[in-house]
Structures are given as structure tokens and as C-alpha cells.
Amino acid sequence: MMLTPAHHFRNIERKPEYLQLEKCMPPPYPGPVGTMWFIRDGCGIACAIVTWFLVLYAEFVVLFVMLIPSRDYAYSIINGIMFNLLAFLALASHCRAMLTDPGAVPKGNATKEFIESLQLKPGQVVYKCPKCCSIKPDRAHHCSVCKRCIRKMDHHCPWVNNCVGENNQKYFVLFTMYIALISLHALVMVGVHFLHCFEEDWTNLPRAYGLDRAGPAEAPVSLHAKAQPLTVRPAECSSFSPPTTVILLILLCFEALLFLIFTSVMFGTQVHSICTDETGIERLQHKDRQQQARSWQPLKETFGGDFSLNWCNPFSGQPEIPPDKDLVRQVSQSDTDDTLATEEPTGTTDEEPVEVMDA
């Protein structure tokens, strides 16, 4: 069978028996409203735990190494509020991206009764996913990790243990944005802390112990000074010893720099995909989609309305997707050689599952 370029990644059978609708179980009884979505994947759960651990490590270093020991209370309060607010929003966005249904198609709905209820007209077809036995909407893809077809699936991200799709892309974008912001904030504070402590406190530490170049025997010490207890001032920079403080700050610096680069790239990629209305899978497959001019409309649809502070709020919801949206597709003239019209029971595509993970 000759395939057109638009169907380069499709393998459509002409035999109606291939559908095997009798093997599709009826759709499961819908769960209660608000049922939590969670993927039981060991790798994804481990990556999500690591994500929380790294954010909490940065929180520990920022508070107990840099801010609390500082004598500049205004500096500590302002930066503490900013960092904790960004960290809270980042973790909240992570939870929403992980626990929100990304737009999963109802599993097992490719039954004869359901297809008949669609009342297909001449020139209309539906496609069935042989992996999860569901009617696949337009631009939906099957994820081998979630084991479901996901509407407008961009990729499967192990860091949020979920697919990034039509329902949770906003939360994933916010997660990458807030992680990039707290990484940049931590890098700035580490730089300021190093400059301040090396100049004022840590350079005076050897002299306080009498370990400077003059040596303890040559250092002039009065009898009154000998009677006084030894005072060391590194606590103004950290509650820990200078070597421990340096190690903690260097680890935080590497972590912040790595995640600043990674999340900034992901944030830019996601915003570009939203503006061009092209998912990551479609971009990798080089599908011939009619590109739209970059505009605010796709951003409004993704973030839920006109620009406002709710765009940055991970607790604001997204518009609900009708369950039968884009299930029926219209056959164009170029597709007649590769699809089945409604005179036959249905058409089907055996699209291979595509899994794109960010490193």
C-alpha cells in the first residue's frame, strides 16, 4: 500500500477484522470526581523523590548556611521570603504536574456500541489504538509508560513521573520556570556569600587562632588578651566550620547551575511549542501540520484565559476537555488510499507508541 507523506508514521490495515472490537472491554466505570492521577513507575517515582530532595537541600543550605547566620536582618528576611516562596511554588507546580491527568483517553472505549453512538457520516473515520483499545483522538499518542493514549502528548517526563499533555502542560511550564528562578537566586546568593565571607571573616580565622605567617611566638599578645577567651567570628557567615561551609556552597552552586541551564532550556522549548501549536513528538516526527502564526491564543488556551496572575498560579485549573473531542476525523482527498470510509465499520491505525524522555 502506498503511503502519503502525511501518513509516513502510520500503518493502516484495510481489513475491518483487524479492529477486533469484540476483544475491547467496555469502558471502566468512571471514578469519583477528583480521583488522583498517579503513575506507578519505579524510575519516575525515584526521579520525583530526587527532585524534592534537591530542592530541600537547596532550602537547607540557603537558610542555615547563608541567611540565618547573617547579621544583615533585612537581607536575610527579604531573600528568605523570596526563596521560600519560589521553592513552594516550584514544588506545588511539580505536584500538580505529577498528579494531574495529562489528558488520557478513556481506556477500552473502542466498542461497537460506542462507535455506533458517534453516528459517523460519510467521509468520517475513527482510529483505534491497539495498545490500550481506545478510540484515538487527533494528535493523541500512546505512552508506553502511562499505558494510555494522551491528548496532545508532548513527552513523558520522569522528573514529574507523568506525561506532559493537554491538561497539565501549564503546570510543567510553571515547574520549569520556578526551578530556573530559584536556581538563579541561589547562584546569586552563593556568589555574594563567598565574597563577603572570604573578605571579612574567613581571612581573619587563622589570625584568631594565631596561625598567621607571623607565627604564634612572634604575634604580640598582651597579658589582658591572654586572659580573655578566644573569639572566632566565622559564625557570622555560617553555623558550620569553614571547610564544611565551602563544600555545602560548592555543591549548591553546581546543582543550581545545572538545573538553571536544564530548566531554562525546557521552559523555552515548552513556550515555543505552545506558541507554534506543535508538540515535541510532532516536531521529532516532522509531521506536515499546518503551522499557525505565533500568537497569544495558544498561550491563553493553555494557561486558562487572558493574561493575569493566574498564569503563574499552580493552583488555578484549566478548562475541561470534552470526552468526545476530536474522536472523529474527516478524510481528505489525499487520504482516500490509506483510510477506510464509514461504509466499512471503522478505520484503524496501528501507530507505534512514541516515548520521548528529557534527560
Distance CA(19)–CA(110), nearest Å, equals 9
User: Could you say which DSSP state residue 104 is in?
Assistant: B
User: Active-site residue among 24, 132, 157, 197?
Assistant: 157
Tell me which residue has cell 513527552: 155
Q: Are 128 and 19 in contact (CB under 8 A)?
A: yes
DSSP lists the bridge partners of residue 127 as 136
- Cα separation values, 250 from 149, 191, 307, Å: 43, 10, 39
Distance CA(100)–CA(359), nearest Å, equals 22
Spatial neighbors of 191 by CB under 8 A, at least 6 apart, are: none
- The reply to whether 129 belongs to the active site is no
SS3 content of the chain, % helix, strand, coil (to 5): 50, 5, 45
Tell me which residues are annotated as active site: 157
